[in-house]
Amino acid sequence: MSSTTTTEAAPFEPLHGECICGNVKYDIFAPPPGKPGLCHCNNCKRQTGSMFSANIRVLRSVCPYRSRSPAVLIRLGVRCRR
């Protein structure tokens, strides 16, 4: 008689978030992301009021909006890649 052991992924809770003004809300239905990124550009410093912002990247397919879609604003600085 042989026995097999299966490893199942631990269940995860969806992450919920919104923009600072609260007009755009979203849910992330995916396992916890890998390594987060830190950005030290002036725009991110201004937005967070700190020396950096912490960011994660997720696929749009696992991050539906619960409210209106955001307006797109892209600012490119000398050291920014977006």
Give residue-wise pLDDT tens across range 69-79.
666 666 666 66
**Who wins on pLDDT, 15 or 80?**
15
14/42 Cα distance (integer angstroms): 31
pTM for the complete prediction? 0.47
Q: Could you read off the pLDDT of 44-58 as tens digits, one per residue?
A: 898 889 999 988 877
**Who wins on pLDDT, 28 or 6?**
28
